[in-house]
Amino acid sequence: MPEGHSVHRIARQFERNFVGQRVVVTSPQGRFSDGAAVLNNLELEEAWAVGKQLFMRFSGDHWLRVHLGIYGAWDFSGTIHADATIASANGRMGQTNQRGTVFDAAGENSLSSIGAPRKTRMRMAEEQHERELEQTTQFPPEPIGAVRVRLLTETVCADLRGPTACEVLTSEQVDAVLSRLGPDPQRDSSDEAGQKFVDAVVKKNTPIGLLLMDQSVVAGIGNVYRAEMLFRAHIDPYRPGKKVTSDEAWGLWRDWVYLLEIGVQTGQMMTIDGLEGEAWRQAMANRADRHWVYKREGLPCLKCGTHIRLDEMANRKLYWCPSCQT
């Protein structure tokens, strides 16, 4: 499941490569044919995200809403403005990029390259398709697999596969969706937004580990950030929200503001602070070096040595340290 930082980064790619241009919209799979007909040859005027949902406004006040869900992803191809983390995923954005970003010794593959246009080809799930695509210079590439919607300009192509939601909305319908979502600090990091989060937490008897995954409480947090934020705050995930103090809830909000910005800027869910030089590059490349508890079940806690626990909470895996998180 892609977490909030990924969808904000997808929105940035559409801002850099599509906004201000007329877009050819098709549905190679056929399941979005009616929606594609509404949007086809309209100008894309803006693109932004709230939590895990992407919103794109086309001329005539038509909106495209996409929720990637568990399996959805965008594939970008053509001459696109990319960065090292997108290059490491071969143009695939959406499914959580846990494999990391490797930086070469000369620094060519660096975050300083953000915004530099480069030729990029799509990465497909099946290896034979991937090889075929690498051997062709055709643009746009032939759709491969179940492409729900294709957005195409003269230089850039974006293909969407496997979303939970992909629909055309009116402004009123967009507002209705937004009203059901909790605050997202990339859209609003004000004290008012933070207070909305704090109020939603401290009045409920629901465990804080569930509240952080509730998109109506706070938008964008997923399994990785949930585990890491609670560890960083030394909070037991089973503690009811009403037993989380206001100061603790504010601490969680401020940490989310901080970690989400790192995720948007680097493309990785970096949750261990203070890494520099080779240690930072190693953490960018390897998940095990950038997280405190996530996917570390059975291993000693990096702070106290207690074995990290793996539980199940509402059908999602929960990683935590029973000694550090009290």
Residues marked active site are found at 2-3, 52, 316
For residue 268, which of 280, 277, 276, 279 has the smallest C-alpha distance? 280
Output helix, strand, coil percentages for the chain, rounded to the nearest 5: 35, 25, 45
> Do residues 41 and 86 lie in contact, with contact meaning Cβ atoms separated by under 8 Å?
no
Enumerate the β-bridge partners of residue 74.
93, 160
The Cα angle at residue 295 between residues 291 and 296, in degrees rounded to 5: 80
Identify residue 197 by its one-letter amino acid code.
F
For residue 74, which of 3, 178, 147, 22 has the smallest C-alpha distance? 147
Kind and range of the H or E run holding 95: none
The Cα angle at residue 117 between residues 111 and 118, in degrees rounded to 5: 90
